[in-house]
Amino acid sequence: LGSKKNLVNIDKLNILGILNETRGTDSCGITMDGEILKGIGSFKVYRDFVTYYDLSHPGYTTGVIGHTRKATFGGHTKENAHPFGFGSHKIKGVKEPVFEFVGAHNGTLLNHTELANTGKIELTKVIQEITEEEVEGKKIKKTVNKTVSKIDSEIILERLYKDGDYRVLSEYNGAAALIWQRIDKPNTMYFFHGESKKDEFDKEIVEERPLYYWKENKNSLYVSSLIDSLFVIGGCDDTIDEFEHNVVYEIT
């Protein structure tokens, strides 16, 4: 996250992504300017994904979010890969609308069905799939609708989007580190990671998922689940720290 879109350093972001492959190689993805690209199959590993897409800096927002996934709920499919997007936002000069809200989640939620029901969110969604069949020796492609279940990560992010507040962050049961962005605030991002008791009878409160940041300067911030990754791209003991737990950070 920076102050100017043309100063966003995609090379450093990609180094973070490659080093964070140890967090998961079931799929990966990136969101920039309210658009989302996801890598599965041959491009499920981040280094293969970014080599194929050869991304440059954003043209509208001043921040980019990437994700490497180790699946817990749901299969290794495109619809389950992060980041997730919701709503619609029109950027001046861009023909097609983009997502209004984008975000990614690390962790596993144990009550995502309850979170969906409480927030009046559907547990399934309809996606379009392209199928191919052969008729009289000719291959014909068809687009068919397919209903799939939403995973826990998509549900908590959709709650954050639709609720318009942070109440879901005190309702979930499990583990969460979250980064999200509203495209109508192109130079702002939101960060959260929780700590809680693993069991209601435990005395010890533990971190659910790590979330570190490197403040390169007053207008440049890099965030990672792994602290070592931030040292590799230039951080030091004086400029790297961890976000406080159970606090929502809105950083501009």
Q: Is the pLDDT of residue 28 over 80?
A: yes
Query: Tens digit of pLDDT for each residue in 122-166?
Result: 999 887 776 677 777 777 777 778 888 999 999 999 999 999 999
Work out the average pLDDT over 102-110: 95
pLDDT at 188 (0 to 100): 96
Token pair for 20: 């964070």
Q: How far is the C-alpha of 193 from the C-alpha of 176, rounded, in Å?
A: 6
- pLDDT beyond 80 at 15: yes
Of 5-9, 21-25, 150-154, which gets the smallest average pLDDT?
21-25
Provide the pLDDT for residue 36.
94
Work out the pLDDT band at 75, boundaries 50, 70, 90: low
Q: Are residues 127 and 146 in contact, defined by beta-carbon separation less than 8 angstroms? A: yes
Confidence of residue 82 (pLDDT cuts 50, 70, 90): confident
CA distance 153 to 159: 10
Handedness of CA 78, 79, 81, 84 (dihedral sign): positive
Say how far apart CA 225 and CA 203 lie, in whole Å. 26
| Cross-strand bridge partners of residue 200 | none
pLDDT at residue number 74: 53
Q: Over range 104-112, report the average pLDDT.
A: 94
Residue 71 has what pLDDT? Answer: 65
pLDDT value at residue 220: 96
pLDDT of residue 89: 96
User: What does the pLDDT read at residue 145?
Assistant: 82
